[in-house]
Structure 1
C-alpha cells in the first residue's frame, strides 16, 4: 500500500479522504484482494488523526464490502472484490455511470422527456439526502 494522505485544507472530512484513498488504491491495483491495511491506531498515528476517524473510514469501507476485518488476521481488502467497478480519484464510479446509462436508455425508449428525468433524479437525491 502506498502511503495514504489527508489534506487538512481539503473541505472533505478526513475519514472520507481515507475511504477514498483506499478505494482509489484498490481501483488502480495498488491494493489487491487479500492485501492487509494498517491497523487503525497505526494509521491514525501516521496521519496525525484520532483513531475514531480511521475507524469510521474502515467501518464505511467494510459496510461497502471493500474490506474485511478479522481478529488476529487484521483488516484486508475483501477477497473476490471486483476492483474494476471501483471509483478512482480521477473519475466517477463506473457502476453509477453504467446504471445512469441504463436508466437514460430505458427512459428514451419509453419516450420520456430526459430533461424531466434529470430534474426528477436531482429532486429525489435532494429528498433522500435530506432524510439521511
Structure 2
C-alpha cells in the first residue's frame, strides 16, 4: 500500500520510491496493472499531476510501461531483488529500528560498507 507521510519529501518522490520498492521486492509483479493516475491520486489525497509525475519518472527508469487503453503496468524487463538480499535487508531494517536508528542513519551505514 502506498502512503504519503509528513517526512518532508515531496509526495511525487514518496510515490515513486514506494512503487519502486514494491517492484524490486517482488510485491508488484511484472505486467501487474497499477491504479489509474486519477484513482491513486484520489486514494492518496494528492493532485493527479503528482501521481502522473511519479509514473512518468518510473517509466523513464524502465520500471513502468504506460499504454493508452491498457493503463500503467509494471515493466516485464525489471526483476525483483534476490530473496537472500531481501532477507538480509529485512533483518537489517528490524535491527536498526530496534536500536532506534532512523532511516538516514541506516542508509549511511550501508553506503559506508558498500565502498569497502
Compute the TM-score of the two structures, normalised by the length of structure 2. Answer: 0.70
Q: Of the candidates 55, 58, 61, which is equivalent to residue 58 of structure 2?
A: 61
Q: What is the root-mean-square deviation of aligned Cα atoms in Å?
A: 2.4
Matches of residues 1-132 of structure 1 in structure 2 within 5 Å? 3-7=1-5, 9-84=6-81
Identify unmatched segments of 5+ residues in structure 1.
Answer: 105-132
Q: Whose RCO is larger (CA < 8 A, sep 6+)?
A: 2
Provide the aligned length of Structure 1 versus Structure 2.
Answer: 91
How far did 1:10 drift?
Answer: 1.1
Point out the structure with max Rg over C-alpha: 1
Aligned residue for 1:83, secondary structure, equals: coil
Q: Which residue of 1 aligns with 2:103?
A: none
Contact 2:62 / 2:77 at 8 angstroms: preserved in 1? Answer: no
Aligned residue for 2:21, secondary structure, equals: helix
Residues in 1 aligned to 2:53 and 2:25: alpha-carbon distance in whole angstroms: 23
Compute the TM-score of the two structures, normalised by the length of structure 1. Answer: 0.62
Contact 2:26 / 2:81 at 8 angstroms: preserved in 1? Answer: no
Residues in 2 aligned to 1:74 and 1:32: alpha-carbon distance in whole angstroms: 15
How far did 1:83 drift?
Answer: 2.4
